[in-house]
């Protein structure tokens, strides 16, 4: 990855007034986004929120109806042609009758990279020890690691990841994110979409939350979580599922799992006081709202 002096002062990614429609449906609605080199950004949102369309525009697979998309100052297709963008998609892109190493070598040939680059990419992806294995014999997690190795070969400035750790075990996911953080420290920009909200919470410098084609939150994990006001009171209570918790003062929403109830509200003290004085609740715990709470609150159909 080579960043020139001019590119270091240019946004790694810039979307300005981007709109994309499909017939009467507005998939992306006036998005403005500025991402600095070396940032790791999680792009989150429910299905149909506009994430895939946004990624497609970043990769030059589709063009906006209005607005501009630039990657280090370049139109996406030009950036892709120069090898400045790579993507790790959830499925596809692999030939099952080739070995892992053969697949990586074919990718290296496309970008004029030496065999040493193949070895380095396979090692970085944690699959150097299965280079002679047929792709069709690899597990889902191993195939995803191969896609990661292929994406590294052009030495891109921007890496786009779609559900990157699907199929990986816990250790594999941890190793993958360690590699991503190391790349970001060297200046590579990373944008990833995931349903593993704990990964976004743990590894993203910044979270961009999209709903109905618009950005509804943009900040650190702590800043986004703070947008979901209130706290959660958890308690163990026999017969928790038989109680109408909506009638308890201060409760805005509730969730019952067996004998455990999770009560969400702005006045956690009032909720706790009611549980302690009016019920047989035990093992009481009060916690701040987490990223999942913020996600559900900010992407709800009735959200402002």
Q: Read off the DSSP letter of residue 157.
A: S
**What is the arithmetic mean of pLDDT over 192-214?**
94
Q: What is the pLDDT, as a whole number, of residue 10?
A: 74
Angle at CA 14, nearest 5°, toward 11 and 19? 175
Q: What is the pLDDT, as a whole number, of residue 97?
A: 95
**What is the arithmetic mean of pLDDT over 200-220?**
96
pLDDT at 3 over 70: no
Q: Among 195-209, 241-255, 277-291, name the most confident range.
A: 195-209
Contact by Cβ (8 Å): 179, 124: yes
Contact by Cβ (8 Å): 230, 268: yes
Q: What is the pLDDT, as a whole number, of residue 5?
A: 39
Question: Could you give the percent of the chain with pLDDT greater than 70?
Answer: 95
- Residue 287 to residue 264: CA distance in whole angstroms: 10
- Residue 69 to residue 60: CA distance in whole angstroms: 9
Q: How do residues 260-290 score in pLDDT, each as one tens digit?
A: 999 988 888 999 999 999 999 999 999 877 8
**What is the arithmetic mean of pLDDT over 249-257?**
88
Q: How do residues 66-90 score in pLDDT, each as one tens digit?
A: 999 999 999 999 999 999 999 998 7
Confidence bin at 293 (pLDDT 50/70/90): confident
Which residue segments constitute the domains of the chain, with CATH numbers given?
A: 5-225 (3.40.50.300), 230-288 (3.30.70)
Q: What is the pLDDT, as a whole number, of residue 241?
A: 82
Q: Closest Cα partner for 255 from 272, 270, 240, 239?
A: 240
- Residue 35 to residue 41: CA distance in whole angstroms: 8
pLDDT at 4 over 50: no
Beta-bridge mates of residue 189: 158
Mean pLDDT over all residues of the chain?
91
Q: Where are the alpha helices (DSSP H) in the chain?
A: 5-8, 51-58, 76-81, 100-110, 115-125, 140-152, 170-185, 197-203, 221-226, 268-278, 291-299
Confidence bin at 231 (pLDDT 50/70/90): confident
Confidence bin at 38 (pLDDT 50/70/90): very high
Q: Which residues of 68-79 are buried (b: 16+ CB within 10 A; e: fewer)?
A: ebbbbebebeeb
Contact by Cβ (8 Å): 252, 265: yes
Beta-bridge mates of residue 218: 208
Q: Tokens for 275, please give them.
A: 């549980």
pLDDT at 301 over 70: no
Give the 3-state secondary structure of residue 13: strand
Q: Tokens for 269, please give them.
A: 């003290």
Q: What is the pLDDT, as a whole number, of residue 266?
A: 81
- Residue 134 to residue 122: CA distance in whole angstroms: 14
- Residue 37 to residue 178: CA distance in whole angstroms: 18
Q: What is the pLDDT, as a whole number, of residue 12?
A: 96
- Residue 282 to residue 304: CA distance in whole angstroms: 36
**What is the arithmetic mean of pLDDT over 229-245?**
87
């Amino acid at each position: 990855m080579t960043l020139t002096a001019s590119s270091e002062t240019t946004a790694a990614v810039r979307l300005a007034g981007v709109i994309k429609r499909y017939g009467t449906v507005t998939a992306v609605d006036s998005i403005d986004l500025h991402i600095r080199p070396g940032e790791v950004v999680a792009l989150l949102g429910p299905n149909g929120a506009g994430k895939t369309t946004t990624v497609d525009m970043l990769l030059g697979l589709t063009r906006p109806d209005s607005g501009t998309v630039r990657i280090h100052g370049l139109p996406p297709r030009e950036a892709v042609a120069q090898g400045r963008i790579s993507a790790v998609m959830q499925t596809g892109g692999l030939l099952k009758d080739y070995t892992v190493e053969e697949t990586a070598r074919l990718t290296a040939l496309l970008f004029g990279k030496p065999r040493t680059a193949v070895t380095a990419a396979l090692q970085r992806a944690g699959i150097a020890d299965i280079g002679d294995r047929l792709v069709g014999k690899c597990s889902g997690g191993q195939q995803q690691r191969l896609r990661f190795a292929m994406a590294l070969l052009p030495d891109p400035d921007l890496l786009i990841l779609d559900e990157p750790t699907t199929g990986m075990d816990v250790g594999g996911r941890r190793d993958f994110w360690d590699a991503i953080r190391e790349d970001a420290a060297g200046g590579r920009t990373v944008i990833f979409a995931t349903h593993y909200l704990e990964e976004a919470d743990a590894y993203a410098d910044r979270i961009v939350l999209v709903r109905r084609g618009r950005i509804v939150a943009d900040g650190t994990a702590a800043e986004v979580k703070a947008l979901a006001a209130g706290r959660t009171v958890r308690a163990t209570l026999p017969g928790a599922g038989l109680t109408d918790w909506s009638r308890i003062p201060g409760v805005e929403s509730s969730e019952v799992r067996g004998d455990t109830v999770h009560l969400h509200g702005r006045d956690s003290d009032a909720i706790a006081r009611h549980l302690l004085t009016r019920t047989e609740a035990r093992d009481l715990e009060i916690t701040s709202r987490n990223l999942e709470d913020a996600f559900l609150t900010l992407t709800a159909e009735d959200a402002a």
